[in-house]
Amino acid sequence: MQKLDIDARGKINLTLDVLCKRPDGYHEVEMIMQTIALKDIVSLKLTSQPSIKLNSNCPQLTRDEENLAYQAARLMMQQYRLDAGISITISKNIPLGAGLAGGSADAAAVIVGINELFELKRPQAELMSLGKKIGADVPFCIMGKTALSRGIGEKLSPLKSLSGFGVLLVKPPYFVSTKEVYNRLDVKNIKNRPDTKAMVDHIKHQNIDKIASGLCNVLEEVTLKLYPELDDIKNLLIQKGALGSLMSGSGPTVFGLFENTLDAKRAADDVAYRGNWIFVTEMK
């Protein structure tokens, strides 16, 4: 095998709770993550020269050591002493800096792809362990579907998979710094925390109404103060028929949860305004 295309799916948070700040500076979190159909395509190709080359249709995407996909390729080449070179082409569909784990998804795709391309036959658990060296969301992006995440995001427990429910993504035309949001969060005085245990039960029973009512992200306390219009978007999504609405990650992307994609498409026509990026997708 000389070439391989891998899907790199984005994610949304159904819950996100920050428990404490650790001595090493990282935050302990407890969150439920869900993959969506929105995806980048990561193409891998073997080359004769022992180097890593990265290209993309996205001009803003870094193509060097700062890129998580590049880091993932370098880690895999070093870990398994691979002497061939690899060319990576990323067809971006997931917006940059959106809170949808696009960079982590690309890195995960590179790890999975190199494992397959070089016929390494390494188990998923081993690949996930390597992935956490790149970023906290990478192990989840390798595993995918629906999962409860703890620690700094690397301790994962798979949940009953949700699929087919409609998701309407709305991203305003600006970037939110994850580091700034976490630095501004007063962990000891969070007003509204998710009931993660109850949400796990709702997912087990596939109760979309209770899942929608249980959506909660403590980072909204920070990001919505910085960007109050995000709360307006959330309210508009509810007005247009969303069962629930939430900010994903540290933002700025907000999503509405719907019974199906048809309902989400109907709402999309009314939400497309002010230069926002709009995308209808589904849980996958």
| Residue range(s) defining the domain that contains residue 184 | 166-282
Average pLDDT over residues 138-143: 97
Mean pLDDT of the chain: 95
Q: Judging by DSSP bridges, how do beta strands 146-150 and 244-247 pair with one another?
A: unpaired
Does residue 143 share a domain with residue 43?
Answer: yes
Q: Considering 112, 128, 158, which residue would you say is the last residue of a domain?
A: 158
What is the model's pLDDT at position 117?
A: 95
CA 256/CA 246 separation, integer angstroms = 7
Does residue 248 share a domain with residue 172?
Answer: yes
What is the model's pLDDT at position 275?
A: 79
What is the model's pLDDT at position 26?
A: 83
The percentage of residues in the chain with a pLDDT greater than 90, rounded to a whole number, is 86
What is the model's pLDDT at position 49?
A: 84
Does residue 171 share a domain with residue 152?
Answer: no
Does residue 179 share a domain with residue 95?
Answer: no
Q: Torsion angle of alpha carbons 252, 136, 35, 42, nearest 10°? A: 100
What is the model's pLDDT at position 25?
A: 79
Query: At CA 108, angle to CA 71 and CA 175, rounded to 5?
Result: 75
Q: Is 96 exposed, middle or buried (0-12, 13-18, 19+ CB in 10 A)?
A: middle
Q: Torsion angle of alpha carbons 204, 209, 210, 214, nearest 10°? A: 110
Does residue 135 share a domain with residue 9?
Answer: yes
φ/ψ of 137, rounded to 5, equals -85, -10
Does residue 198 share a domain with residue 145?
Answer: no
Does residue 126 share a domain with residue 215?
Answer: no
Does residue 185 share a domain with residue 151?
Answer: no
Q: Is the pLDDT of residue 272 over 80?
A: no
Average pLDDT over residues 158-170: 96
Q: Considering 126, 158, 190, which residue would you say is the last residue of a domain?
A: 158
Helix axes 124-131, 102-117, angle to 10 degrees: 140
What is the model's pLDDT at position 50?
A: 85
CA 267/CA 170 separation, integer angstroms = 11
**Total count of domains within the chain:** 2
CATH number, domain containing residue 259: 3.30.70.890
Q: Would you put residue 18 in left (φ > 0), alpha (ψ -120 to 50) or beta?
A: beta
CATH number, domain containing residue 33: 3.30.230.10
Does residue 177 share a domain with residue 129?
Answer: no
What is the model's pLDDT at position 21?
A: 87
Angstrom CA distances, 218 to 17, 49, 164, 188, 280, stand at 6, 47, 26, 12, 25
Does residue 90 share a domain with residue 71?
Answer: yes
Does residue 153 share a domain with residue 28?
Answer: yes
Give per-residue pLDDT as tens, 46-80: 998 889 999 999 998 988 889 999 999 999 999 99
Q: Considering 127, 158, 189, which residue would you say is the last residue of a domain?
A: 158
Catalytic residue numbers read 11, 137
Average pLDDT over residues 203-229: 97
Concatenated DSSP letters of the chain: --EEEEEEEEEEEEEEEEEEE-TTSPEEEEEEEEEEEEEEEEEEEEESSS-EEEEES-TTS--STTSHHHHHHHHHHHHTT--SEEEEEEE--SPTTSSS-HHHHHHHHHHHHHHHHTT----HHHHHHHHTTT-TTHHHHHH-SEEEEETTTTEEEE-PPP-S-EEEEEE-SS---HHHHHHH--GGG-S----HHHHHHHHHTT-HHHHHHT-EETTHHHHHHH-THHHHHHHHHHHTT-SEEEE-TTSS-EEEEESSHHHHHHHHHHH--TT-EEEEEEB-
CA 269/CA 259 separation, integer angstroms = 17
Lowest mean pLDDT among 1-5, 38-42, 79-83: 1-5
Does residue 177 share a domain with residue 43?
Answer: no
